[in-house]
Structure 1
Amino acid sequence: MLTHLKLVLKPTAKKLTILLVLITASITAQELSLKEAYNLMLIKNGDLNASQQEVNAKQEELKAVKGLRYPSLSVSATYLNLDNDIEVDLNEQRTMVSGLLGVADPSVLGDWNFTLQDKNLGFASADINWPIFAGGKINAANKASKINYELSENHHKIKTNALTIKLIDYYFKLKLAKEAENLRQKVYETIQLHNEHAIKLFENGIIPEVETLNAKVALSNAKRELLAAQQDVSLATTAIKNLIGDEAFNTTSTNFINPTIQPSLNEFQQEMIQENEQLKFLEKNEELAKVGVKVENSEYFPKVALFGKHTFWKDNLDLLETKWLVGVGASWDLFNGFEREHKIKAAKHKVLQVQQLEKQAKLNLLTYTEKLYNELEKQREQYNSLATDLALAEKLKFMRTRAFEEGTGTSLEVIDATLQLTQIKLFKIKALYYYNTTYGELMVSLNKTENFLNQI
């Protein structure tokens, strides 16, 4: 923005002050188009950034669930210290044996108290486990995780659309406030000039003093309306700054688009049913509910897994001579008190629930589209009719002003004509505001945000 500013002379305190003033003025006068404001919102808005983190988390969870298809490998180690060695005392049996052998002293046969396991022992092993069949539960878990990831993307898009509609409203509300402020400023200047003319005409004895009082009252009202319009601009600017996170913004550069004839209502309604993100959200939830039914059905099937173990280190564990083993295991719940049946029915009810919500959502979207379409047509008709009224009001104001200056009209007539012209201009600007915000809401709801931003 400031690349054209160059300080060719030696910097002095005065020159530096001027440069800082230019930089400050450039920043405070920053203009943003609606598209630029939209891009800033996508980057800086905290709600959208938080929503994007949810999408990232679901993406990582999807990758994690894919690990169910692969074997799991683990390493474990154990070292134990028992209170005593594990021993077997067979000395009594030794005495019996010595009697049978005719040995007078059993000790001749030795000590038959054997240590089976030293009290200090340890081992380490590597284990592998690989589920190869779970009744479809692994496939269902992967599909459910994928749908949950898509739902998070869908939810992020819904939030983005909602904030975009709000941004469009705030942006054009600021533009409306700016236009109103400019209009109020012109009205104030016009009535101020009229007040000065009234004073001169009174001093020359052309009009009575009461006419100057009317002009003064009108000037006071015009000043109050101007201050109110300036306050509206300040509030609208603050609202956009909070939404897009840019403190330097204070001026809009995107103009209103003039109302035009739109395609048929039926075309918009069909497109709404196909493209609306909220309806897609319900469709994804229906898919997820159907996956839930498959998960519950998987409980009827056995679970089969391969497993293996390799002991690669042992200490004082003479009883365990095998170094490795492999095998296959299976489990099958044959009866669990009808729990599975009821869970399957519950999952099916969830499917029906989402289907009913989806059905009602389609009806609501058709009504919503019709409402927006009718609002567009209403504002287009008002805008076109106000163009004729504006020409008549401008002519009336001109005639009333001439009549007052010639002494054949009153100050009230001039003021009324001025305010009537102002009111028509305000109505025309408001018609543009409502048309643009409604059209923007419709386009965003149809997933045509980029088209709308490029169009305006």
Structure 2
Amino acid sequence: MAKDIMYKDNSLIKVAEKKEEVHKYELKTSQGLRYPKIGAFGMGIYLNKELGADLNGIRNGIGGLLHLPDPSLLGNWDVTLLKRGIAFGGVDFLWPLFSGGKINAAVEASRIKSEIGEMETISTKNKLISELAQRYFQVKLADEAVIVRKKVLEGMNRHLYNATKLEEQGIIAPVEKLQADVAVSEANRQYLAAKKDAALARVALSNTLETEIQSADLSTDFFVSPFIKPLEYYQSAAILNYPELQKLQLQIDLAEQGIKAKKSSYYPTVATFGQAILVHNNPVGLVEKDQKPWLLGVGISYTLFEGLQHKNEIKSAKATKESVELYQQRANIDIKTIIEKIYYDLEKQDEQIKNLEVQIKLAEELVRVRNFAFSEGVASSIDVVDAESNLSGVRLQKLQAEYNYVTDLASLLEYSGLSEEFLTYTK
């Protein structure tokens, strides 16, 4: 199936899916803001000398005041404040407890961006389905035109054969046979041109599919669907499903999260933190070797004045939201109008196809009558050529109407957000 081939090989779809993947990872990244940050630290320092103070002189003086026979009984007062070699390591953490809604707004904004990415992928696929329908049936149109032109050429060759026989029998003037020669030449020119058009149409289809495809692979013929629903159905579907309108609603939701994020600046930020030294070499001489000092606390910060920056940022965010809302209202009207135009053109093409079917029957009968009359010598070569040209013209008009019908249907479903249902209309 051509659609499956396109979904597998088309680079535009792959690009859109990669962008969607980026948004999903960004969402997971923002969700990490809710969790504590845990880290490890370590440090080693070597000084040129120890830092300390020998207080034994003071100790001896105190011992004299106390009339101690041996002041050393008071201990060694030679204190080391900082060793020459210092080494320690441990872990710390920081966990935001309250941010005034800033983290929630950031997570929700990332979720909305992820949904926008999904809508962009859907939009890309829908547009490519319309493009595929256009180029697929362009090939069908070109192939059918080749068949029509070939039939004309065959008809003109038969006419030339008859004209040659009649001229040899003296029934018609040489100019009649010359006119048949010219008609064959013109029919051959149009036939060759139609074959080139068919080859170019196939190239365009291969570009959309990004793979080679042969005429035999095109199994779906032109059709008129019995499943067309009322106009209001497609207009209502567009509001609910058309990706570009969905993206506008998501942009409004994103702007709302922007407002919440700006308002969070009016609230304090509260976080808990902690630190533990797990290994050390007793760098200051104040703790025992096996002790593991730690701390745990809660911090709060609040901006008292920032020059009305937050107030103006909130007003800017609100204005952004309002502008998108106004654009959304206009876009809803425009999409409904576009769908209405396509819908009525679809109906027009349906009517054209039915009317042209009747005209083809009449044109075929006219060709039969003109050929018979020419063989009887009561019609001119021009009459036969005109009849053949009229028949081919009507056939080509019908093919063009059938092509317009299916491309109108593809566009109608695209703007309704229902492109994936296109194949159900072909059955």
CA distance in 1, matches of 2:175, 2:286: 118
Q: Tell me, yes or no, if structure 1 residue 265 matches structure 2 residue 231.
A: yes
> Counterpart in 2 of 1:117?
82
CA distance in 1, matches of 2:47, 2:209: 68
Q: 1:255 to 1:100 in 2, by over 3 A?
A: same
Q: Show the counterpart of 1:355.
A: 325
Q: Which letter does structure 2 place at the counterpart of 1:116?
A: L
Structure 1 window deviating more from structure 2 (231-240 vs 293-302): it is 231-240
Q: Tell me the distance in 1 between the aligned counterparts of 2:278 and 2:64.
A: 46
Asked if 1:275 is matched to 2:245, the reply is no
CA separation in 2, counterparts of 1:60 and 1:319? 48
Q: How much has 1:50 moved relative to structure 2?
A: 1.2
SS in 1 for 2:97: strand
Letter of the aligned partner of 1:178 in structure 2?
A: D
- Residues 149 and 194 of structure 2 are in contact (CA less than 8 Å); yes or no, is this contact kept in structure 1? yes
2:159 corresponding residue in structure 1: 194
Matches within 5 A, 1:23-422: 36-88=1-53, 115-251=80-216, 252-258=218-224, 262-319=228-285, 321=287, 323-422=293-392
Residue 83 of structure 2 aligns with an amino acid whose one-letter code is: D
Q: Quote the Cα distance in structure 2 between the aligned partners of 1:423 and 1:147.
A: 54
Cα pair 1:259 1:380 within 8 Å, conserved: no
2:152–2:187 contact (8 Å) kept in structure 1: yes
User: Is the contact made by 2:271 and 2:300 (CA closer than 8 Å) also made in structure 1?
Assistant: yes
> Structure 1: how far apart are the matches of 2:284 and 2:81?
8
Distance 2:48 2:150 in 1: 97
Q: CA deviation at 1:69?
A: 1.6
Q: How many residues align?
A: 415
| Corresponding letter in the other structure for 1:315 | N
Letter in 1 for 2:336: L
Name the TM-score, length of structure 2 as normaliser.
0.91
**Partners of 1:384 and 1:37 in 2: how far apart?**
28
Per-residue deviation, 1:119: 2.8
Give the residue type in structure 2 aligned to 1:257.
Answer: F
The amino acid of 1:62's aligned partner reads: L
The aligned amino acid for 2:272 is L
**Residue number in structure 2 paired with 1:448:** 418
Give the whole-Å Cα distance in 1 for the aligned partners of 2:41 and 2:391.
Answer: 87
Classify the secondary structure of the residue corresponding to 2:13.
Answer: helix
8 Å contact kept, 2:202–2:213: no
Secondary structure (helix, strand or coil) at the match of 2:284 reads coil
Q: Quick check: 1:404–1:414 contact (8 Å CA) kept in 2?
A: yes
- Identity %, equivalent residues: 36
Instruction: Supply the distance in 2 between the matched residues of 1:192 and 1:66 (Cα, whole angstroms).
Output: 76
Structure 2 CA distance, aligned partners of 1:359 and 1:186?
53
Letter in 2 for 1:429: L
**Is the contact between residue 306 and residue 327 of structure 1 (CA under 8 Å) also seen in structure 2?**
yes
Q: State the distance in 2 between where 1:180 and 1:319 align.
A: 98
Q: What TM-score, normalized by structure 1, do the two folds share?
A: 0.85
Contact 1:120 1:316 in 2 (8 A): no
Mark the CA change 1:435 to 1:154 in structure 2 (over 3 Å): closer, same or farther. Answer: same
Report the residue type matching 2:409 in the other structure: Y
Hey, what's the Cα distance between the residues in 2 that align with 1:373 and 1:299? 51
Would the aligned equivalents of 2:92 and 2:276 in 1 still touch at CA under 8 Å?
yes
- The answer on whether the counterparts of 1:403 and 1:409 sit within 8 Å (CA) in structure 2 is yes
CA positional deviation for 1:261: 8.6
How far residue 389 of structure 1 moved from its aligned partner, in angstroms, is 1.6
Query: 1:209 and 1:120, CA in 2 relative to 1: closer, same or farther beyond 3 A?
Result: same
CA contact (8 A) 2:90 2:278 kept: yes
Assess, with a 3 A threshold, how the Cα gap between structure 1 residues 312 and 276 changes in structure 2: closer, same or farther. same
**Offset from partner CA, 1:249-292 (integer Å, 9 cap, x none):** 44411011126594433333222222211111100110000000
Match of 1:425 among 392, 395, 402: 395
SS in 1 for 2:300: strand
Whole-angstrom CA distance in 1 between matches of 2:320 and 2:34: 28
1:105 — aligned with what?
none
Q: Residues 215 and 411 of structure 1 are in contact (CA less than 8 Å); yes or no, is this contact kept in structure 2?
A: yes
SS state at 1:330 partner: strand
Root-mean-square deviation (CA, aligned residues, Å) is: 2.6
Deviation digits for residues 392-415 of structure 1 (CA, Å, limit 9, x no counterpart): 211211111111111111111101
Q: Distance in 2 between matches of 1:364 and 1:83?
A: 79
Cα distance in structure 2, aligned partners of 1:160 and 1:213: 55
Q: Structure 1 residues 244, 83: closer, same or farther in 2, change over 3 A?
A: farther
Taking a change above 3 Å as real, the CA distance of residues 98 and 312 of structure 1, as seen in their structure-2 partners, is closer
Aligned counterparts of 1:166 and 1:188: Cα–Cα separation in 2 = 32
Distance, in Å, in 1 between the alignment partners of 2:24 and 2:213 is 35
Residue ranges of structure 1 left out of the alignment (5+ in a row): 1-35, 102-110
CA contact 2:227–2:425 (8 Å) conserved in 1: no
Structure 1 residue matching 2:223: 3-state secondary structure: coil
> 1:86·1:115 contact (CA, 8 Å) conserved in 2?
yes
Change beyond 3 A, Cα 1:263–1:378: same
Specify whether residues 212 and 91 from structure 1 end up closer, same or farther in structure 2 by C-alpha distance, changes over 3 A only: farther
Deviation at residue 342 of structure 1 after TM alignment: 0.6
